[in-house]
């Protein structure tokens, strides 16, 4: 008896919808199951990233940055605007319009590639069967030759600050504020906490970030993290490190608030906020996803176990994206989706997990690729360093956007680039040029010998590469290592 589909994908986020499209392109009869509904109870594609993550948060980041430019920077260019005000509901409506447009785009791609979207909650059963439960409670069981699990992740909740959806919210709730909180608390100085905190800070909130660890952005090269912290503090984010939240107490009424208790090196503390965002990380979404007899194994943290090609311990069943090991990044999941679809098609496909760029979308952005200086020291690798400030880049100065720097690391013997770390304007785009170069095992000298356009922000990358070997032109060089 033939299967209902060649490939069934559970989840239509960045990992799932890309896997489904690529599988369909390769000639497979493909279905993609998604449970997300909009306010009209219609199927919405794109998962967390598109609906309550990457895309809406960037829409708000851009809106808030334009507000700051209009309020504080236009005058430097001789542009007079008068009083500048923020209309938060309109800003939120624009965000929702962007999300709807992007989700509709995925629907169009499904139609063009003949992917069958199925609305409901997917659950993997034994023998590659998938139970789909619709939102009205009806269920059906589908069969497939291959199943790809791409269920994504959900925010982690903490007992000291349980969310109530109004005063205490997670990252999703922080995208729906209808007015600027006078005083905003953020638990967690990670990627999401800093991005959302910076949005509301620009719009006028007094933002306090409570971070339990003593190190700021420990996963980032620490020279870059130190520079980023200095810039964010200048932007009036109050970042409290070593602040372990121990409890919270809601005050309801006409002016609701929350009193947050935390402990730092000075002892027990309390601070009152109008709103509190809990951003302490995410966990794989596997609740109700796997039947007890499906055979798929998970690790102690709840991630689905896979090999280097995202195959689970069950033949024909794959898992990709946030439900498996590695960084929870949309682009990582998307590339895994392509890889798995091509493997199913019998092609030789692999993914370089050592070269996955990471970006924090504050302003300026913080972006990294490859090894940090701390990692190279821990591994005993001999290396060279080149840095260059945006303050010495004409294009950045002309745009009044010259905070930050580029840092490049190269092997001391071979000159091969081992890492690049940037805090500065358009860091996400700039680090991608180095990612491409590193994919082809480039040397710092190779980048230094490449002609870069002038004036351009990318000149900072060029000069940092030159600085690795003591050849920077537009700044004094350190002694060659």
234-276 pLDDT per residue, tens: 999 999 999 999 999 999 888 999 999 999 999 999 999 999 9
196: which residues sit within 8 A by CB, 6+ positions away? Answer: 57, 171, 174, 175, 186, 277, 279
Pairwise CA distance, residues 469 & 385, whole Å: 8
Which residues in the chain are classed under CATH 3.30.390.30?
Answer: 364-468
Query: What CATH number belongs to 5-154+283-344?
Result: 3.50.50.60
- When the pLDDT of each residue in the chain is averaged and rounded to a whole number, the result is 96
Which residues in the chain are classed under CATH 3.50.50.60?
Answer: 5-154+283-344, 168-280
pLDDT in tens, 160-191: 999 999 999 999 999 999 999 999 999 999 99
pLDDT in tens, 396-414: 999 999 999 999 999 999 9
Token pair of 342 as six digits: 């091509």
Query: What CATH number belongs to 168-280?
Result: 3.50.50.60
Whether the predicted pLDDT of 138 surpasses 90: yes
pLDDT (mean) for 113-119: 98
Q: Which residues contribute to the annotated binding site for FAD?
A: 58, 122, 322, 328-331
Q: Which CATH class is domain 364-468?
A: alpha beta
Q: Which residue has the tokens 């947050």?
A: 260
pLDDT at 481: 45
* Residue positions annotated with a catalytic role: 454
């Amino acid at each position: 008896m033939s299967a209902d589909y060649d490939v069934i994908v559970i989840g239509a986020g960045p990992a799932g919808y890309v896997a489904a499209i690529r599988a369909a392109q390769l000639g497979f009869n493909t279905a993609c199951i998604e449970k997300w509904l909009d306010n009209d109870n219609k199927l919405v594609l794109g998962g967390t990233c598109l609906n309550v993550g990457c895309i809406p948060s960037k829409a708000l980041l851009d809106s808030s940055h334009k507000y700051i430019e209009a309020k504080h920077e236009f005058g430097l260019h001789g542009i007079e605007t008068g009083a500048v005000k923020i209309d938060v509901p309109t800003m939120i409506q624009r965000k929702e319009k962007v999300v709807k447009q992007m989700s509709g785009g995925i629907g169009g791609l499904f139609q063009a590639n003949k992917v069958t979207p199925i609305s409901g909650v997917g659950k993997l059963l034994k023998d590659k069967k998938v139970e789909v439960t619709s939102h009205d409670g009806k269920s059906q069981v589908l069969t497939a030759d291959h199943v790809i699990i791409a269920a994504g992740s959900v925010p982690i909740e903490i007992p000291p600050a349980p969310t109530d959806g109004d005063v205490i919210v997670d990252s999703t709730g922080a995208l729906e504020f209808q007015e600027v909180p006078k005083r905003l608390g953020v638990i967690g100085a990670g990627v999401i906490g800093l991005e959302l905190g910076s949005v509301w800070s620009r719009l006028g909130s007094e933002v306090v970030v409570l971070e339990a660890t003593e190190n700021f952005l420990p996963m980032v090269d620490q020279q870059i993290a130190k520079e980023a912290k200095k810039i964010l503090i200048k932007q009036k984010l109050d970042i409290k490190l070593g602040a372990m939240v121990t409890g919270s107490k809601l005050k309801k009424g006409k002016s609701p608030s929350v009193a947050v208790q935390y402990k730092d090196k000075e002892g027990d503390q309390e601070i009152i906020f109008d709103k509190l965002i809990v951003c302490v990380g995410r966990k794989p979404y596997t609740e109700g996803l796997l039947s007890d007899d499906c055979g798929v194994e998970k690790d102690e943290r709840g991630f689905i176990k896979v090999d280097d090609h995202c195959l689970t311990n069950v033949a024909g069943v794959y898992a990709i994206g946030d439900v498996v090991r590695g960084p929870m990044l949309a682009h990582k999941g998307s590339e895994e989706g392509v890889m798995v679809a091509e493997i199913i098609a019998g092609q030789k496909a692999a993914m370089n997990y050592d070269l996955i760029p990471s970006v924090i979308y504050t302003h300026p952005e913080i972006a990294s690729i490859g090894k940090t200086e701390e990692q190279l020291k821990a591994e005993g690798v001999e290396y060279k360093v080149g840095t260059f400030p945006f303050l010495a880049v004409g294009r950045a100065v002309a745009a009044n956007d010259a905070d930050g720097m580029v840092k490049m690391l190269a092997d001391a013997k071979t000159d091969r680039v081992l890492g690049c770390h940037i805090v500065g304007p358009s860091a996400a785009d700039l680090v991608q040029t180095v990612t491409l170069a590193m994919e082809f095992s480039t040397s710092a000298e190779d980048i230094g010998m490449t002609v870069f356009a002038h004036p351009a922000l990318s000149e900072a990358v060029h000069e940092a590469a030159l600085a690795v070997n003591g050849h920077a032109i537009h700044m004094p060089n350190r002694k060659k290592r």
